[in-house]
Amino acid sequence: MIPAAFNYIRARDVADAIRLLEKHGDDAKLLAGGHSLIPMMKLRLAAPSTIIDIGAIPNLAGIQHANGRFTLGALTRHAALAASDELRAFAPILAQSANELGDPQVRNRGTVGGSCAHGDPSADYPAVMLALDATFVLTNGKGTREVGADDFFVGMLETALDPLDVLTAVGFADAPHSAYTKFHHPASGYAVVGAAVNLMLSGDRITAARVALAGTGDFAFRSLAVEHALAGIAVDDAAALDAACAGAAAGIDARSDTFASAEYRTALADVYVRRAVAKALQPR
Amino acid sequence: MQALRENLGLTGTHVGCDTSSCGACTVLLDGVSVKSCTMFAVQAAGSAVTTIEGIGTQAELHPMQEAFWTQHGLQCGFCTPGMIMAAIDLIARNPDPSEDEIRLGIEGNICRCTGYENIVKAVTVAAAAVRGA
């Protein structure tokens, strides 16, 4: 399959990328790992007239960890996140989701920024970033601003990014009791349903929780009812945890397709949230 | 992928699904396995691309090629170039992979013929050969 013709330009740095976006307007798209955009271009579901390749910009990838906080460069590849001992120790949800995304070849190219910016309903990271209460750093010609995950994912393939924005980094606090698990679509590996859970513990009790679902609705969302229900439960009270995780997708129009009906996704949501809670509570 | 096959005449890299799933198009980019169907040729400017033609020689096969042969890791051979390239990166990162690690490590490559049994054996044998075991 062949994309529609396009102009290709490599941006030297973020300022150059911004300048190129301003110059080429609405019909330009940034290219990072390309594993969301290029398949769409090959199917001609997307046909930007100008591609601005930011994949070679130095210093846009990397994992920094200081004072209990991670900062990930937007260009960091999934493979690097999956291989990070630091992430595995202090924010396992992200190492786990990165490791379950796609396959080894896809993980060698795809980037955390690209995946988040694309906002595919079946992607893993949007739910993970909601669970982490992550902050996205956006830059354009007017300056830099931060957008919290709760405000970043707004619709199917729709984020808070303006056409002239460059996503440069995402940051979040340590999340030692966190986990991600998903029902892999057997062909594509995408999340039919994916559960992202981040628990705050005090002693042997859950004090607070952030729970988000991938693949289930038109875009990633938090299960506020489950979050409230989990607060105060003892970590070894299996029956209470079971009850708390019920109705994870209640009130959401779950997606329906040839592989899984809305009813099936709604049922899977409860199962996978419960599994993610168990995984988050496992001693490591 | 198109550039490799049509412009450079290197047809060892195969067109399978053309949608990033099957891995028949796998090559190494700066030593790392990637799906060439999901990259523009221009993105590789300044990088080294290794295809199946660049592995081993007629006189001396690469250990991975040798192992796919001795362990009967192929039938029709369509998935094989991509499988070999993916497996080469796999054992470069993990020189002594378990069976489970091999099966996870080739998740990006689909084979319709073999049921993967002999592919896993081939990768195990190749890994041992490369380790000098």
As a whole number, mean pLDDT of residues A215-219 equals 97
pLDDT in the model for residue A25: 82
Q: Which residue of B has its CA nearest to A187?
A: B21
Cβ atoms within 10 Å, residue B97: 19
Asked if A34's CB is within 8 angstroms of B38's CB, the reply is: yes
Rounded CA Rg of chain B: 14
B27 pLDDT more than 80: yes
Reported as a single tens digit per residue, the pLDDT across A232-243 is: 999 999 999 999
Tell how strand A50-53 and strand A28-31 pair up: parallel
- Residues of chain A neighbouring B38 (CB-CB closer than 8 A): 34-35, 38-39, 106, 109
Which residues sit opposite A197 in a β-bridge? A179, A211
A283 pLDDT more than 90: no
Give SS3 for A186: coil
Reported as a single tens digit per residue, the pLDDT across A72-101 is: 999 999 999 999 999 999 999 999 999 999
Reported as a single tens digit per residue, the pLDDT across A93-149 is: 999 999 999 999 999 999 999 999 999 999 999 999 999 999 999 999 999 999 999
The nearest CA of chain B is from the CA of A184 a distance in Å of: 12
The nearest CA of chain B is from the CA of A227 a distance in Å of: 33
Confidence band for A163, pLDDT divided at 50, 70 and 90 = very high
A21 pLDDT more than 90: yes
User: What amino acid is encoded at A52 in this protein?
Assistant: I
* Backbone angle region of B132, left / alpha / beta, with phi > 0 → left and psi within -120 to 50 → alpha: left
ipTM of the complex: 0.97
pLDDT in the model for residue A214: 98
A159 pLDDT more than 70: yes
d(CA A72, CA A81) in angstroms, rounded, equals 9
Asked if B33's CB is within 8 angstroms of A104's CB, the reply is: yes
The two structure tokens encoding residue A6:
């396009």
B94 pLDDT more than 90: yes
Which residues sit opposite A234 in a β-bridge? A205
Length of chain A: 284
Is residue A116 within 8 A of residue A152, CB to CB? The reply is yes
The nearest CA of chain A is from the CA of B110 a distance in Å of: 10
A188 pLDDT more than 90: no
Reported as a single tens digit per residue, the pLDDT across B65-77 is: 999 999 999 999 9
Question: How high does pLDDT run on average in chain A?
Answer: 97
User: A171 CB near a chain B CB, below 8 Å?
Assistant: no
As a whole number, mean pLDDT of residues A194-204 equals 97
Residues whose CB falls within 8 Å of the CB of residue A133, separated by 6 or more in sequence, listed in order: A148, A149, A150, A172, A173, A198, A210
A284 pLDDT more than 80: no
B39 pLDDT more than 80: yes
pLDDT in the model for residue B133: 65
- Taking each helix axis from N to C terminus, what angle separates B63-70 and B117-131, rounded to the nearest 10 degrees? 140
Reported as a single tens digit per residue, the pLDDT across A32-82 is: 999 999 999 999 999 999 999 999 999 999 999 999 999 999 999 999 999
pLDDT in the model for residue A213: 98
pLDDT in the model for residue A26: 86
Q: What percent of chain A has pLDDT over 70?
A: 100
DSSP A229: H
Is residue A52 within 8 A of residue A11, CB to CB? The reply is yes
Reported as a single tens digit per residue, the pLDDT across B99-130 is: 999 999 999 999 999 999 999 999 999 999 99
d(CA A176, CA A214) in angstroms, rounded, equals 21
Which residues sit opposite A275 in a β-bridge? none
Asked if B38's CB is within 8 angstroms of A109's CB, the reply is: yes
Q: Choose the closest CB to B35 out of A2, A55, A106.
A: A106
Asked if B19's CB is within 8 angstroms of A39's CB, the reply is: yes
Burial A202-221 (b: 16+ CB within 10 A, else e): eeeebeebbbbbbbbbebbb
- Residues of chain A neighbouring B45 (CB-CB closer than 8 A): 10
**Residues of chain B numbered 72-131 and touching chain A (CB < 8 Å):** 86, 89-90, 105-109
The nearest CA of chain A is from the CA of B81 a distance in Å of: 14
As a whole number, mean pLDDT of residues B59-88 equals 98
What one-character-per-residue DSSP string does B38-54 give? GS-GGGGTTS-EE-GGG
A225 pLDDT more than 70: yes
Burial A68-107 (b: 16+ CB within 10 A, else e): eebbbbbbbbbbbbbbbeebbebbbbbbbbbbbbbbbbbb
Greater model confidence, A1 or A183? A183
